[in-house]
Amino acid sequence: MLFNLSNFTNPSYLIQILLSIPVVLFSLSFHECAHAYAAHKLGDDTAKNMGRLTLNPFKHLDPFGAVAMLLVGIGWAKPVPIMTRNFKHPKSGMVISAAAGPLSNLILSVIGVLLYVPFEWFLGSKNAFTSAVSLFLFLFHYMNLALAIFNLIPVPPLDGSRVLFGFLPDRIYFGVMKYEQFIRIGFLMLILILNYFDISIIGWVCRPISNGMIWLILRLPIFSVI
């Protein structure tokens, strides 16, 4: 979903934006809550004590990240604070806590596609209401898939950079993380430049995966006998 001012004259685009709002609110909140829950189970209650172990979107949302998710198709929330010194095994604790966010979105994406395919098959084009529900389910599936893939990019401050922590020597990892602020700014600028030229690398990755997931579900016996 690439931002283009001309899209706002298109009713279908506006409907897509409206249907995407609850998806963004829930998905980003679920992602951050997963981080907090994993850290809590591993012994770090920092996020829990700050009220981040919740699905309340107002506790998690970064306004700029939420708007970017709606307009560009990729976004983020306020990072959940994690103190690795509270883990029995700091490196593995960080890896598991960081991976919990993208994994939670992948699970939501699978749930979304499992609901979308049969709904679209049986009811999707019956009327305007069922078409809207079908689109909502697809957006729920696709946007969560995009969130999972985007957050696994090993670039600060994304979760992939924290997962990388478990596989790099401390000297190299912390040497790179000294420049986290500059890397973050450069990465955001790259996203904006790619968006300006209507280039969606995440879309290139997501589309074949999404199509593959839909293809697999359509191979289930229930669809072959109808």
DSSP for 212-223, written as a single string: HHHHHHHTSHHH
Q: Which active-site residues does the annotation give?
A: 32
Domain membership of residue 24 as a residue range: 5-224
Mean pLDDT for back-to-back runs of 10 residues, the chain (226 residues): 46 84 93 97 96 94 78 77 92 93 97 95 85 94 94 88 83 77 80 73 90 93 71
pLDDT for res 9: 54
Q: What is the pLDDT of residue 194?
A: 77
How many Å apart are CA 112 and CA 92, to the nearest integer? Answer: 30
So what's the pLDDT on residue 8? 45
- Residue 58, both tokens: 């107002």
With beta carbons less than 8 A apart as the criterion, state whether 53 and 69 touch: no
Q: Among candidates 181, 191, 124, 179, which has minimal Cα distance to 153?
A: 191
Token output for 93: 């604790």
CB of 33 within 8 A of CB of 58?
A: no
pLDDT of residue 188: 75
Residue pair 117/214 in contact by the 8 Å Cβ criterion: yes
Looking at residue 49, what is its pLDDT? 96
> What is the count of structural domains for the chain?
1
- Dihedral, CA of residue 93, residue 94, residue 95 and residue 97, to nearest 10: 80
Report pLDDT for 110.
97
Any idea what DSSP says for residue 54?
Answer: S
In this predicted structure, what is the pLDDT of residue 4? 43
Question: Which tokens in the block code for residue 17?
Answer: 């934006």
Res 86: pLDDT: 95
Nearest-10 crossing angle of helices 63-71, 11-41: 130
